[in-house]
Amino acid sequence: MQRTDLRNIAIIAHVDHGKTTLVDAMLKQSRIFRENQQVAERVMDSNAIERERGITIMAKNTAVEYNGVRINIVDTPGHADFGGEVERVLNMVDGVLLLVDAVEGPMPQTKFVLRKALEQGHRAIVVVNKVDRPSARPNYVVNETFDLFIDLGASEEQAEFPIVYASGIAGTAGHDPHAMQDSLTPLFETILQYVPAPDVDADGPPQLLVTSTMYDDYKGKIIIGRLNSGTIRKGQAVAHIASGKDPKPAKVVQVFTHYGMERVEVDEITAGDIVAMTGINDAGIGDTIADKDNPVALPPIKVEEPTVQMTFGVNTSPFSGREGKLVTSRKIRERLYGETERDVALKVEDTDNADTFRVSGRGELHLAILIENMRREGYEFQVSKAEVIYKDVDGTRHEPYELVEIEVDSDYQGSVVELMGLRRGTMRDMRVSDSGTVQFVYHVPTRGLLGFRQQLLTATRGTGIMNSLFAGYQPYAGDVQTRQFGSLVAWEQGVTSSYGLSSAQERGQLFVGSGVDVYEGMVIGQHIRDEDLEVNACKKKQLTNMRSSGADDALRLDVPRNMSLDDCIEYLADDELLEVTPLHLRIRKRLLNTDERRRDRKWAKNR
């Protein structure tokens, strides 16, 4: 049977194309909120980091009602590093809204998420968003989107997609960009018409694939997924089937469905709906909740393998234990392995060292979000430089490659060509727009993109825009030059002084100011040359009664460069670590002792 009173859809798009803003408008026009209720912008981005960065990191569920039909909506991330979130939720829905910016058109991540949706057999409704922008070009965008469907091998039925023009921020939609309605009614009507109602077996045995999990301080672990068949009731006995293991008995304590921003407790739920349940605390993503008398497992969730890895370890700097509350290897290990239960694209492994763990993800941003979350939770630890994960294919070393789109002003196109040439990038396409901007498409090893974003912004004076998409594994490309400068390293432990820093800033750019605690081996700046330089940043001026205080010119220090977490991760060299605490980020050398580092460099040179 078909549940005509229900629709399940996911909203997919490239980052910053307006998914969350459109969901806001759908919620408001569905009368989810009271007339006088204060509602924040991007209400679905509930995580503090999501609001700060302006991106969606975790897929979230909500639901609205229109003409007696409940529409379950899954808001998904748009950044390529969080593609695992998109992959795991597509099995819960029957169709997708593909958002495309009316100016930018299809972007690299648009291709990724659309390919995954088409592989699942979903039909897509193309929503050309932001049509109210002055430079909007909806006809061009629709043609480019159609070409993308054909390139990805869409079926004839999938290629005949309906088109809705919308402005998420204004809450308007229409089937003609020049005849927009004052509401999203055309979008809702298109969803009811083109997204198929779920086919369900309401009388069959219950079957649910766990798609996401979360933890509540009062309810315990909450598992979320789509009920494929049967009915699940409050207090029902079920079977829990973990991947590769035998079924074991479990009991559902509470059953919830989604309405707006709330989870509403119900007594039972029927097949086809997206449900949240409590009581099965050891269930993980990819497990099956099935009938206790006839336990049949569903196919597990498959996501693409991670391509970048870092090591997480106990902080070993002289300042360890000063600021963090959770500092032991046991606590760090529990937190990292706990993250893998929520994030299927993350992989954690033990190493030969009991205090160090290898963490693999989709990209630098993927791992940076994990580091930032742990930091805010009170953890103190150290991480290494991000490295790509190699594969051995038929005895040949292969490495991951990315397809990169870079958009810059024509004045800076020479800088981009030079930077990508140093990173073994191969130009695939180059287009010049009417506005004078140049768009490059490069095929480049992932190694070449580690630490590249900051150099691109510097070379283009902050105007360069870069988007990348994983393009598979190919043979090793050879040496790649990623970092051109060395570090300024503190000579001794102490407090930095203006007198000591004034000499150091003549040799490069400082990361710290006066009056900052430093230790031997801590990186305090970037050298103007390609080798490291030890500096005495704590040196004080020796004053005597023969020297007047006004005899010398006042020392003036440049404003130190404020390094964010992303900047620190990009800056790291092979012999450096990042010390992460709730209050500070400190870059340091692996070997803190100056003499040991010199011996190590001499040994490596003579080897």
Q: Is the pLDDT of residue 42 over 70?
A: no
Question: What top-level class would CATH report for the domain 391-475?
Answer: alpha beta
> Where do the domains of the chain lie?
6-194, 207-291, 391-475, 487-562
155-165 per-position pLDDT tens digit: 888 888 999 99
Mean pLDDT of 47-65: 69
Cα–Cα distance, 483 to 378 (Å, whole number): 31
130 is in an annotated binding site: yes
Contact, 525 vs 569, CB < 8 A? no
The residues near 429 (Cβ < 8 Å, ≥ 6 apart) are: 439, 440, 441
139 is in an annotated binding site: no
Residue type, 325: K
Mean pLDDT of 274-291: 86
Mean pLDDT of 320-332: 92
17 is in an annotated binding site: yes
Beta bridge partners of 357: 312, 350
Mean pLDDT of 482-510: 89
State residue 546's pLDDT score: 55
State residue 551's pLDDT score: 44
If pLDDT is split at 50, 70 and 90, which confidence band does 57 have?
Answer: low
Pair of tokens at residue 355:
């205090």
Mean pLDDT of 354-360: 93
Mean pLDDT of 437-448: 89
Mean pLDDT of 199-223: 83
State residue 554's pLDDT score: 63
Q: In this structure, which topology does domain 487-562 adopt according to CATH?
A: OB fold (Dihydrolipoamide Acetyltransferase, E2P) (2.40.50)
21 is in an annotated binding site: yes
20 is in an annotated binding site: yes
552-602 per-position pLDDT tens digit: 456 778 889 898 898 899 899 889 999 999 999 999 999 999 888 888 888
Distances (CA, A) of 125 to 85, 174, 204, 420: 20, 13, 31, 36
CA nearest to 466, candidates 563, 383, 371, 364:
364
The residues near 126 (Cβ < 8 Å, ≥ 6 apart) are: 98, 100, 142, 145, 161, 162, 163, 164
Superfamily of domain 6-194: P-loop containing nucleotide triphosphate hydrolases (3.40.50.300)
Give SS3 for 74: strand
What residue has token string 């040496």? 479
409 is in an annotated binding site: no
291 is in an annotated binding site: no
CA nearest to 285, candidates 348, 370, 222:
222
What percent of the chain is predicted at pLDDT more than 70?
92
How many CB atoms neighbour CB 550 within 10 A? 7
What is this structure's pTM?
0.81
Mean pLDDT of 524-542: 88
132 is in an annotated binding site: yes
336-356 per-position pLDDT tens digit: 998 888 787 889 999 999 999
Pair of tokens at residue 356:
């160090």
State residue 522's pLDDT score: 94
Q: Is the pLDDT of residue 35 over 70?
A: no
If pLDDT is split at 50, 70 and 90, which confidence band does 36 have?
Answer: very low
Domain spanning 207-291 has what CATH number? 2.40.30.10
